Amino acid sequence: MHDERRRIEERVERLQNQRIKPAIYAAAVPFEVAAWQAPGEPVSFEEAAAASYEPFAMDTPWGPPWGTTWFRMRGQVPAEFAGRRVEAVIDLGFVGDWPGNQAEALVHLTDGTPLKAVNPLNQYVAIANPATGGEVIDYLVEAASNPDILANNFEAPTPLGDVLTAGDKPLYTFKRADIAVLDENVWHLDLDIQVLRELMLELGEHDPRRHEIAHALDHAMDLLDLDDVSGSAGAVREALKPVLAKPAHASAHIVSGVGHAHIDSAWLWPIRETKRKTSRTFSNVTSLADEYEEFVFACSQAQQYEWVRDNYPQVWARIQESVKKGQWAPVGGMWVESDGNLPGGEAIARQLVHGKRFFIEHFGIETKGVWLPDSFGYNAAYPQLAKLAGNEWFLTQKISWNQTNTFPHHTFWWEGIDGTRIFTHFPPVDTYNARFSGEEMSRAVRNYAEKGAATRSLAPFGWGDGGGGPTREIMERARRLKDLEGSAKVEVEHPDAFFAKARAEYEDAPVWVGELYLELHRATYTSQARTKQGNRRSEHKLREAELWATTAALHAPGYGYPHEKLDRLWKTVLLHQFHDILPGSSIAWVHREAEAEYARVAEELEALTSEAVTALGGGTARVFNTSPYDRAEVVRDAAGTPVYVEVPASGSAPLTATAEAPQPVTVQGRVLDNGLVRVEIAEDGTLSSVHDHRAGREVLAGQGNLLRLHTDLPNYWDAWDVDKHYKNRYTDLLDPSEITVADEDPLVGSVRVTRPFGNGSTIVQTITVRAGSSRIDFETDIDWHEAEKFLKAGFPVDIRAAHSSAEIQFGHIQRPTHTNTSWEAARFEVSGHRWVHLAEPGYGVAVINDSTYGHDVSRTVREDGGTTTTVRLSLVRAPRIPDPGADQGRHRITYSLLPGATIGDAVAEGYALNLPLRVADAAGEPQPVVSVDGAGVTVEAVKLADDASGDVVVRLYESRGGRAQGVLRTGFPLAGAQVTDLLERPLEDAATDGDSVSVELRPFQILTLRLRRS
């Protein structure tokens, strides 16, 4: 037989695109359309319904960037459409085929009922099936003219990312608003051909099934009457039935399809637009559930549910009904799909607490898994946090984006830093926006790493990122692929069902230990520094407010713990931890609003803390220590005078100098010495020496605090990525304009270094040494006006460190300092929280910070045989896409060098730098709510129980990486104690003795105690 594949394939493609698709809608009549342009921000349906509308013609431009235009569409179904499936078809002038980053609309009835959304891949609204003829249609359509920020694949900066700079030129031209007849036979024929043609093209050229499909399609096309596609469609479909009916092989891979609509809570659109996106997508999903009884839709992010509940009650009611029918599956159990690296440990705990509680309260459902397909890597504390919140499984997709190494598993046990394991799946389809194309199905089978040991994988299907969700076309593909020879088999089902089956067949799945590091998007540890600083400070201010509010609730009669305010503020911070806000990868509008929100949160939390401290009674100046460690350090009184004080952990002390003052600080030129460390500052403003008096050794092996400005233009995804070649071009900032003594006091010595550089930028650093402390602080004020640059601060230390240790959530992670393998080489930029620690046996150094996350660690061997290990903090970047003005302006960052530091020292000083001592008036000496004896037992949160019972909840963890035993003592009469999960539900009784609780922790174990007051 001659090989005619090319002729057949080209024939089928042309007939499908040029004859069959245009015949899907058999007849149409236009709506009568009128329009009203809403001024400014979106308005309510009631306001839009009362507005005055002007006639509007097709092919008319409409929609300024970020505008809202309401269209009134009126019409009547013609009598000749009776007995047919009739739909409204609306084309707003869509560009491309991505639903989420362009014009979108929500169609309402005149009473305000939302019907369904329209987007480029979902342009219809059902009218009647079958129609009787004469039906009167009257719609109000809220159309959003969101700009296409992704146009030209991020090749150039755009002003469209902020309503303040986007202009008012119309973006779209309205193309179609019709009442049309859907020719179901032709529509189904198109889908039959799509599925068969795509399957055919994925099969091998020697596979008999490929040739069978080709010849079946060829013969079927002979039956297609080009002058009467509708009339002949039935015969063509009949001819294709045998080839569509052949069952899949018994060993065929099984794909569990789960409906999905990834909706970024903000990204290339502001939060206000996401609130509308949720209503559009969820309207479509609930409509689709009515059409397909087997449909199951998995939806995460409790925040988005709350938006719909508060703004679209009718859509909310439909969601509740779909949940009852089992077609809607709340998943994820988090407030938002947060970033996986940057939120603090307590913040991730609260993500899980607030998310799971929302689903329990509103649906009676406790979610079983963490659903995080799109975050940019995942910290190694997640398995323990997930399990402590009652989860059984974890799902991610983003690791498929790895730049260097292919992740070796798709189904595996993920083991965290404490030893907790959680059953984890990473879909081999390599997308969370699947549509069951032939290419996707083939890819899932080809990629699947567990062949021979397991048989199934999960595929989240539906258009996403900006919403859209599953469509009827995708559901029809799933039906055809349920049991089709040559393809994997598709089963649409709940993700819990998939995970139960996957675990049952593969209980002995392989184990991956440690972080799930994404070998891409490494710049998200640094981009939009003010957003990151806002998050870090909000987390610590929340800790502070909860601690002192609890203290006041225990010791101040009449004080009421501010449950509702703290809950609201936590949710605001959790929202902004979404994986395109906190990482710095959103448009200018998003980050402008985030900075304003963080400022508001800081102001409210400051007021709550002040109220709590004031409630303890005014009178004597006291120092309040929110840190979980005792502190002896310098603080300034109301007049600005330094005072050396000792303050207990989570407690307070009078603002009076301690009896034993430490050795004073001397300042001699550019040399600072406090008897613990001597710091010498060179003429170029770098540190030429840091001598540790206690250890009798020089700390540095080169220029300390070397500020290096790199050229930074990644290959793609400017705000997300830093590529390895950034290291090859740089300028060291070695020309200070001024070096002066900034502070010369027996307790504080400081030198200020001013550096102008680049495009009018300036860095002013105050290098400070304080009495009684080995910590050297670098208070850094940056006026930043660079573009496509990356600023690092480096400390080369004379230590042969086999690995670096970086703080993560509830512990730390060790990473090799060598690059023996491609896995280690790929970690050329990594994340950490408050500190990074380098050590050799007997000596260590920590670098601490108050607001940055990215860093790199490298080592080299010197000519004298010694080893230099260098840690460099990433301070600020200057990407221009998607925000052309990212990071421009002022930044205030403090980082510190801590010579002679153990891991325990790094932990304590990390808390100290991020939780400054507070000076305020208070009467009496309130006991700390809790105090802990036991090295490594660290208190992370102190609060009252969320159920308003008055119980005290304390979350603590082992922070040094070893076993720990200790005793927790209460500053109040203790009636009993329970170990609980993160949701404060009892797991077991804790061992108590009077007002104390015995604590025993494995390395990095998290323990939540619920303490009942007498």
Tokens representing 153 are: 């694949």
Judged by DSSP in three states, 825 sits in helix
Rounded to whole angstroms, the Cα distance separating 224 from 240 reads 12
Residue 709's SS3 state is strand
Q: Residue holding tokens 């990482």?
A: 583
The CA-to-CA distance between both ends of the chain, in Å, stands at 91
Residues 6 or more apart whose CB falls under 8 angstroms from that of 500 comprise none
Confirm if 746 and 738 have CB atoms less than 8 A apart: no
Residue 147 to residues 140, 329, 492, Cα–Cα distance (Å): 22, 32, 34
Q: With left for phi above 0 and alpha for psi between -120 and 50, is residue 377 left, alpha or beta?
A: left
Residue 168 is among the residues annotated as catalytic for this protein: no
CA distance 672 to 41: 56
Q: How far is CA 733 from CA 680, 685, 703, in A?
A: 18, 9, 12
Cα–Cα nearest to 284, from 478, 472, 477, 460: 472
DSSP per residue over 429-447, as a string?
T--SSB---HHHHHHHHHH
Residue 307 burial (C-beta neighbours within 10 Å; 0-12, 13-18, 19+): buried
| Strand pairing category for 974-980 and 369-371 | unpaired
**What is the DSSP secondary structure assignment for residue 246, as one 8-state letter?**
P
The answer to whether the CB of 715 falls within 8 A of the CB of 699 is: no
Asked if 637 contacts 604 with a C-beta cutoff of 8 angstroms, the reply is no
**Where are any strands of DSSP class E within 393-525?**
393-395, 411-415, 421-425, 456-461, 489-492, 511-513
Distance of CA 541 to the CA centre of its chain: 21
- HSE-CB at 695 with a 13 A cutoff on CA atoms is 19
Q: Is the peptide bond before 882 cis (omega within 30 degrees of 0)?
A: yes
Asked if 853 and 833 touch (Cβ cutoff 8 Å), the reply is yes
d(CA 438, CA 443): 8
* Cis before 664 (ω within 30): no
Among 178, 374, 692, 712, which one carries the catalytic annotation?
374
Take residue 678 and report the two structure tokens written for it: 């001597």
Calpha distance 791→874 (Å, rounded): 6
User: 3-state SS of 343-364?
Assistant: CCHHHHHHHHHHHHHHHHHHHC
988-997 as b/e, with b when 16 or more CB fall inside 10 Å?
A: eebebeebbb
Q: How far apart are CA 103 and CA 123, in angstroms?
A: 12
Asked if 144 and 103 count as a contact pair (C-beta separation under 8 A), the reply is: yes
Residue 182 pairs in a beta bridge with 25, 85
Distance CA(777)–CA(767), nearest Å, equals 6
Integer CA distances (angstroms), 927 to 433, 549, 556, 920, 972, in order: 54, 13, 12, 16, 8
Environment class of 304 (CB within 10 Å of its CB; exposed 0-12, middle 13-18, buried 19+): buried
Structure tokens at 35: 């329009």
Helices 184-202 and 472-480 meet at what angle, rounded to 10?
60
Task: Say if residues 274 and 303 touch (Cβ distance below 8 Å).
Answer: no
Longest dimension (CA), the chain: 102
Annotated catalytic residues are 374
